[in-house]
Structure 1
Amino acid sequence: MLSKQIQAVDQAITGRHSVRAYLDKAVEKHIIQDILNVASRAPSGTNTQPWKVYVLTGVKRQEMIDRVCAAQIELFTKPELTDQYQETFPYYPETWISPFIDRRRENGWGLYGLLGIQKGEKEKMAAQQLRNYQIFDAPVVLFFTLNKIMGVGSKMDVSMMIQNVMIAAKARGLDTCPQAAWNPFHSIVMDVLAAPDDEELVCAVVLGYADPDHIVNTFITPREPAENFTVYLD
């Protein structure tokens, strides 16, 4: 029988999923600080601890939402502006292959199907995409950055720190949604953050209390069993 400690850790990990609807309920600053203090125990190459975190609430949160939503709406009506909004590093591959493209499609159409969005309903899709930049009404959004001088390995370090944030949040009754969707708008994001020129955006994580009554939060993505991706060599 698993110990209570193991059960608690496992529950925090397996209970985490991307939540896309939040209650209008503030998260106290000391809770956020506790989460970040715990998360900072993430490993990093030679203990460089390369992460920097910007926590947005209140007026600054709304400024970020307003500016990026305006840019996204403009892009929807003027797709020729896409070249103005490019990621600083590629998150996804240029060419997709199976099984990755299959999982991506399953994820997208599973979410849209739950929300009653059918293939070809571009305006509904655009509205749902905009929800990313409205941070799903969460009261807090965290932006993670790196110094540009750091290498690819530091993005791995930051990723482990982000995972710690999400697990520590879940253990405290909070939910999260990691977002790479902000990266094409990094110029706007970094301006709102007043971040120095030597930093680059890695991703964002929204944080808050999940709305238990919203259908979107019933969407749980499947996972491959470990035997499908593990090779044991003895």
Structure 2
Amino acid sequence: MDVREAVQTRFTCRAFRPTPVPLGKVADILRLAGRAPSGGNLQPWHVWALAGEALESLKAAVRAHTAAGQFFEGEIEYAIYPPDLKEPYAGRRFRNGEAFYTALGVARDDHEGRMRQVAANFELFGAPVGLFLAVDRSMGPPQWADLGIFLQTLMLAARAEGLDTAPLEAWSLWPKTVRAHLGMPEELMLFCAVALGHADLEAPVNQVRAERAPLEEFATFRGF
């Protein structure tokens, strides 16, 4: 699979098959992702890869809370979205959510159904592997951008291996629980989890593809 195909076929998978992913393949993906560029070659990313009982134990710890209707713990360490999201960003987010819940057959007024789907984030949508990404708290926006480059490289490397992913910032809402289970040092901030595995391509939710803005909406060309 070349890089163009990997980019074109990558999507946020929200239903995985339970097929295990071998340790060697996960290590190869992370090793390749480690080739991602970073300013000053700081390589500010830290990764924990979990599978089997180690992953189930962490999911169970969060599940005990989500089953009771609790979807975050304590003070949120960073805002996933700006508090006053303006256009065109707010519209894009709304349409994405609308397409997603429509595919699931969950109505807008089905609060229980929507909460079940929120909780599914913390089950990693059934993926057999969970990757947890963190960055040192002393780092600034440029290094967070570097972490994003690493994340994208990781997801494309997974596609090259025929695997699918879901980057899940929702896991940042459980930093204390994740830190305790992973032995993550306090100086690191949890950014997200990444579900990794084989997509269940028959699941209706995996038929959804988020819209993309046309080139002329985000790019300006001069001097050509």
TM-score normalised over the length of structure 2: 0.95
Q: Percent identity?
A: 34
The structure 2 residue matched to 1:195, chosen from 165, 171, 184, is 184
User: Match for residue 48 of structure 1?
Assistant: 42
Residue range with higher mean Cα deviation, 84-93 or 181-190 = 84-93
The superposition leaves residues 24-79 of structure 1 with CA deviations (integer Å, 9 ceiling, x where unpaired) of 11001111111111111111110011111000111110111111122223345xx8
The superposition leaves residues 124-153 of structure 1 with CA deviations (integer Å, 9 ceiling, x where unpaired) of 111111110011110000001112122221
- What pairs with 1:27-42 in structure 2 (closer than 5 Å)? 27-42=21-36
- Which 5+ residue runs of structure 1 have no aligned equivalent? 1-6
- What pairs with 1:121-160 in structure 2 (closer than 5 Å)? 121-160=110-149
Quote how far apart the aligned CAs of 1:85 are. 3.2
- The separation in 1 between residues aligned to 2:154 and 2:14, in whole angstroms, is 17
- Which 5+ residue runs of structure 2 have no aligned equivalent? none
- The separation in 2 between residues aligned to 1:106 and 1:117, in whole angstroms, is 14
- The separation in 1 between residues aligned to 2:185 and 2:118, in whole angstroms, is 29
Q: Does 1:67 align with 2:61?
A: yes
- What pairs with 1:65-214 in structure 2 (closer than 5 Å)? 65-76=59-70, 84-214=73-203
Q: Contact conserved, 1:39 with 1:168, CA < 8 A, in 2?
A: yes
- The separation in 1 between residues aligned to 2:166 and 2:87, in whole angstroms, is 25
User: Match for residue 4 of structure 1?
Assistant: none
Q: Secondary structure at the match of 2:180?
A: helix
Amino acid at match of 2:48: Y
TM-score normalised over the length of structure 1: 0.91
Q: Contact conserved, 1:142 with 1:207, CA < 8 A, in 2?
A: yes
Q: Secondary structure at the match of 1:25?
A: coil
Quote how far apart the aligned CAs of 1:177 are. 0.3
- The separation in 2 between residues aligned to 1:86 and 1:166, in whole angstroms, is 29
Which contiguous aligned blocks of 4+ residues in structure 1 show a shift greater than 4 angstroms?
A: none
Quote how far apart the aligned CAs of 1:118 are. 0.6
RMSD between aligned residues: 1.4
Amino acid at match of 1:117: V
Residue range with higher mean Cα deviation, 25-34 or 85-94 = 85-94
- The separation in 1 between residues aligned to 2:20 and 2:116, in whole angstroms, is 25
User: Match for residue 58 of structure 1?
Assistant: 52
Amino acid at match of 1:154: Q
User: Match for residue 3 of structure 1?
Assistant: none
- The separation in 1 between residues aligned to 2:179 and 2:40, in whole angstroms, is 27
Q: Does 1:22 align with 2:32?
A: no
- The separation in 2 between residues aligned to 1:124 and 1:64, in whole angstroms, is 23
Amino acid at match of 1:51: W
